[in-house]
Protein backbone atom coordinates (compact mmCIF):
# COMPACT_ATOMS: atom_id res chain seq x y z
CA UNK A 1 0.00 0.00 0.00
CA UNK A 2 1.14 3.54 -0.72
CA UNK A 3 -0.10 6.77 0.84
CA UNK A 4 0.47 9.78 -1.38
CA UNK A 5 1.00 12.82 0.84
CA UNK A 6 2.28 16.38 0.98
CA UNK A 7 3.97 17.54 4.20
CA UNK A 8 1.84 19.93 6.20
CA UNK A 9 -1.36 19.18 4.29
CA UNK A 10 -4.49 17.20 5.12
CA UNK A 11 -2.93 13.86 4.25
CA UNK A 12 -1.32 13.87 7.69
CA UNK A 13 -4.73 12.93 9.12
CA UNK A 14 -4.71 9.72 7.08
CA UNK A 15 -1.05 9.10 7.93
CA UNK A 16 -1.78 9.39 11.67
CA UNK A 17 -4.87 7.17 11.45
CA UNK A 18 -2.99 4.49 9.50
CA UNK A 19 -0.20 4.50 12.10
CA UNK A 20 -2.80 4.27 14.90
CA UNK A 21 -4.28 1.26 13.10
CA UNK A 22 -0.90 -0.43 12.82
CA UNK A 23 -1.16 -0.67 9.04
CA UNK A 24 1.92 -1.22 6.90
CA UNK A 25 2.31 1.25 4.05
CA UNK A 26 4.85 3.26 2.11
CA UNK A 27 4.81 7.02 1.84
CA UNK A 28 5.06 8.76 -1.52
CA UNK A 29 5.73 12.48 -1.34
CA UNK A 30 3.91 14.77 -3.78
CA UNK A 31 4.84 18.36 -4.60
CA UNK A 32 1.41 19.91 -4.29
CA UNK A 33 2.27 22.82 -6.59
CA UNK A 34 3.99 21.02 -9.46
CA UNK A 35 2.07 17.73 -9.03
CA UNK A 36 5.35 15.85 -9.29
CA UNK A 37 6.09 12.72 -7.30
CA UNK A 38 9.36 12.58 -5.40
CA UNK A 39 11.63 10.34 -7.44
CA UNK A 40 9.87 11.16 -10.71
CA UNK A 41 6.52 11.01 -12.36
CA UNK A 42 3.37 13.04 -12.51
CA UNK A 43 0.92 12.65 -9.66
CA UNK A 44 -2.00 13.43 -11.99
CA UNK A 45 -1.20 10.20 -13.84
CA UNK A 46 -2.06 8.41 -10.60
CA UNK A 47 -4.79 10.69 -9.29
CA UNK A 48 -6.36 12.89 -12.00
CA UNK A 49 -7.92 15.04 -9.24
CA UNK A 50 -4.38 16.19 -8.50
CA UNK A 51 -4.78 16.66 -4.77
CA UNK A 52 -3.81 14.60 -1.80
CA UNK A 53 -4.36 12.22 -0.11
CA UNK A 54 -4.60 9.10 -2.20
CA UNK A 55 -4.19 5.55 -1.03
CA UNK A 56 -3.01 3.03 -3.62
CA UNK A 57 -3.56 -0.62 -2.80
CA UNK A 58 -1.20 -3.36 -3.89
CA UNK A 59 -3.58 -4.36 -6.69
CA UNK A 60 -3.47 -0.84 -8.15
CA UNK A 61 -6.87 0.29 -6.88
CA UNK A 62 -6.88 3.94 -5.74
CA UNK A 63 -8.93 5.47 -2.93
CA UNK A 64 -9.06 9.26 -2.59
CA UNK A 65 -10.66 11.78 -0.23
CA UNK A 66 -9.88 12.02 3.48
CA UNK A 67 -13.35 10.88 4.53
CA UNK A 68 -13.18 7.73 2.40
CA UNK A 69 -9.65 6.79 3.43
CA UNK A 70 -10.35 7.41 7.11
CA UNK A 71 -13.57 5.35 6.94
CA UNK A 72 -11.62 2.55 5.24
CA UNK A 73 -9.07 2.60 8.08
CA UNK A 74 -11.88 2.43 10.66
CA UNK A 75 -13.37 -0.56 8.85
CA UNK A 76 -10.01 -2.34 9.21
CA UNK A 77 -9.67 -1.47 12.91
CA UNK A 78 -13.16 -1.00 14.40
CA UNK A 79 -11.89 0.37 17.72
CA UNK A 80 -11.00 3.54 15.75
CA UNK A 81 -14.71 4.24 15.18
CA UNK A 82 -17.56 5.03 17.55
CA UNK A 83 -19.42 2.06 18.96
CA UNK A 84 -23.08 1.17 18.76
CA UNK A 85 -25.67 0.52 16.10
CA UNK A 86 -25.17 3.96 14.54
CA UNK A 87 -21.42 4.13 15.20
CA UNK A 88 -20.33 3.77 11.58
CA UNK A 89 -22.87 6.33 10.45
CA UNK A 90 -21.90 8.77 13.19
CA UNK A 91 -18.32 8.47 11.94
CA UNK A 92 -19.37 9.12 8.33
CA UNK A 93 -21.49 12.04 9.54
CA UNK A 94 -18.51 13.57 11.37
CA UNK A 95 -16.02 12.96 8.53
CA UNK A 96 -18.45 14.51 6.05
CA UNK A 97 -18.93 17.55 8.28
CA UNK A 98 -15.20 18.05 8.72
CA UNK A 99 -14.56 17.68 4.97
CA UNK A 100 -17.41 19.77 3.61
CA UNK A 101 -18.07 22.34 6.29
CA UNK A 102 -14.56 23.14 7.55
CA UNK A 103 -11.81 21.70 5.36
CA UNK A 104 -13.19 22.81 1.98
CA UNK A 105 -13.64 26.39 3.19
CA UNK A 106 -9.89 26.91 3.68
CA UNK A 107 -8.87 26.80 -0.02
CA UNK A 108 -11.68 29.27 -0.76
CA UNK A 109 -10.50 31.47 2.13
CA UNK A 110 -7.07 31.82 0.53
CA UNK A 111 -8.46 32.80 -2.87
CA UNK A 112 -10.92 35.58 -2.05
CA UNK A 113 -10.82 39.28 -1.18
CA UNK A 114 -10.20 40.48 2.36
CA UNK A 115 -13.86 41.37 2.71
CA UNK A 116 -14.91 37.86 1.71
CA UNK A 117 -12.24 36.39 3.99
CA UNK A 118 -13.94 38.03 6.96
CA UNK A 119 -17.23 36.31 6.08
CA UNK A 120 -15.54 32.94 5.55
CA UNK A 121 -13.58 33.34 8.78
CA UNK A 122 -16.85 33.71 10.69
CA UNK A 123 -18.33 30.68 8.92
CA UNK A 124 -15.28 28.57 9.76
CA UNK A 125 -15.32 29.70 13.40
CA UNK A 126 -19.05 28.95 13.61
CA UNK A 127 -18.44 25.39 12.32
CA UNK A 128 -15.66 24.85 14.85
CA UNK A 129 -18.05 26.19 17.48
CA UNK A 130 -20.47 23.37 16.69
CA UNK A 131 -17.78 20.91 17.81
CA UNK A 132 -16.52 22.86 20.82
CA UNK A 133 -18.82 21.16 23.31
CA UNK A 134 -17.58 17.73 22.28
CA UNK A 135 -13.89 18.50 22.74
CA UNK A 136 -14.55 20.49 25.89
CA UNK A 137 -16.42 17.64 27.63
CA UNK A 138 -14.40 14.70 26.35
CA UNK A 139 -10.85 13.87 25.34
CA UNK A 140 -11.89 13.02 21.77
CA UNK A 141 -14.72 13.63 19.33
CA UNK A 142 -16.54 10.47 20.37
CA UNK A 143 -15.80 10.44 24.07
CA UNK A 144 -12.83 8.76 25.66
CA UNK A 145 -11.87 6.69 22.61
CA UNK A 146 -9.65 8.05 19.85
CA UNK A 147 -11.22 7.64 16.40
CA UNK A 148 -10.09 8.23 12.82
CA UNK A 149 -12.03 11.52 12.92
CA UNK A 150 -9.70 12.89 15.59
CA UNK A 151 -6.59 13.30 13.41
CA UNK A 152 -8.75 15.09 10.84
CA UNK A 153 -10.11 17.59 13.38
CA UNK A 154 -6.62 17.87 14.89
CA UNK A 155 -5.12 18.83 11.52
CA UNK A 156 -7.88 21.38 10.85
CA UNK A 157 -7.77 22.94 14.33
CA UNK A 158 -3.99 23.17 14.38
CA UNK A 159 -4.00 24.73 10.92
CA UNK A 160 -6.65 27.25 11.93
CA UNK A 161 -4.64 28.19 15.02
CA UNK A 162 -1.49 28.64 12.93
CA UNK A 163 -3.46 30.97 10.64
CA UNK A 164 -4.51 33.06 13.64
CA UNK A 165 -8.14 31.96 13.87
CA UNK A 166 -9.31 32.67 17.44
CA UNK A 167 -10.50 29.16 18.29
CA UNK A 168 -11.94 28.43 21.70
CA UNK A 169 -9.48 27.31 24.39
CA UNK A 170 -10.89 23.79 24.25
CA UNK A 171 -9.37 23.41 20.76
CA UNK A 172 -5.94 24.48 21.99
CA UNK A 173 -6.24 21.83 24.70
CA UNK A 174 -7.48 19.27 22.17
CA UNK A 175 -4.60 19.94 19.76
CA UNK A 176 -2.14 19.68 22.65
CA UNK A 177 -3.66 16.37 23.73
CA UNK A 178 -3.53 14.88 20.23
CA UNK A 179 0.04 16.13 19.65
CA UNK A 180 1.27 13.90 22.47
CA UNK A 181 0.18 10.70 20.71
CA UNK A 182 3.04 8.62 19.38
CA UNK A 183 1.30 8.27 16.00
CA UNK A 184 1.32 12.05 15.56
CA UNK A 185 4.98 12.37 16.50
CA UNK A 186 5.87 9.49 14.17
CA UNK A 187 3.85 10.90 11.24
CA UNK A 188 5.47 14.31 11.70
CA UNK A 189 8.91 12.73 11.85
CA UNK A 190 8.28 10.65 8.73
CA UNK A 191 7.00 13.71 6.86
CA UNK A 192 9.92 15.88 7.97
CA UNK A 193 7.73 18.24 10.00
CA UNK A 194 9.69 18.07 13.26
pLDDT digits (tens, 9 = 90+) for 5-48: 999 899 999 999 999 999 999 999 999 999 999 999 999 999 99
Least confident of 107-111, 127-131, 145-149, 157-161: 107-111
Q: Using one digit for the tens of pLDDT, what is the confidence trace for 88-144?
A: 999 999 999 999 999 999 999 989 999 999 999 999 999 999 999 999 999 999 999
The residues pairing with 55 across neighbouring beta strands, listed in sequence order, are 3, 63
How far from 103 is each of 25, 40, 70, 93, CA to CA, in Å?
25, 29, 14, 14
Banded model confidence at residue 161, pLDDT cuts 50, 70, 90: very high
Banded model confidence at residue 171, pLDDT cuts 50, 70, 90: very high
- Predicted pLDDT at 194: 82
Cα Dmax for the chain: 48
Task: Supply φ then ψ for residue 4, to 5 degrees.
Answer: -85, 125
Average pLDDT over residues 161-187: 97
How far is the C-alpha of 85 from the C-alpha of 94, rounded, in Å? 16
User: Is residue 76 predicted with pLDDT exceeding 90?
Assistant: yes
Q: Using one digit for the tens of pLDDT, what is the confidence trace for 82-91?
A: 999 999 999 9
Domains of the chain, each with CATH number or no CATH: 2-76+183-190 (3.40.30.10), 82-181 (1.20.1050.10)
Task: Supply φ then ψ for residue 37, to 5 degrees.
Answer: -90, 135
How far from 129 is each of 101, 132, 134, 168, CA to CA, in Å?
12, 5, 10, 8
**CB neighbour list of residue 47: distance below 8 Å, 6 or more residues apart:** 4, 54, 62, 64
The average confidence (pLDDT) of the chain is 96
Amino acid sequence: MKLFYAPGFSSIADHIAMLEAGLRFDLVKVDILTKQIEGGGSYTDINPKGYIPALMFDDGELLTENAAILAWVADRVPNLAPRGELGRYRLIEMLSFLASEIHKRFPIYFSVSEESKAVLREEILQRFGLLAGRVERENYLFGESFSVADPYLFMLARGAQELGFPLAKCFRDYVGRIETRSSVREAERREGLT
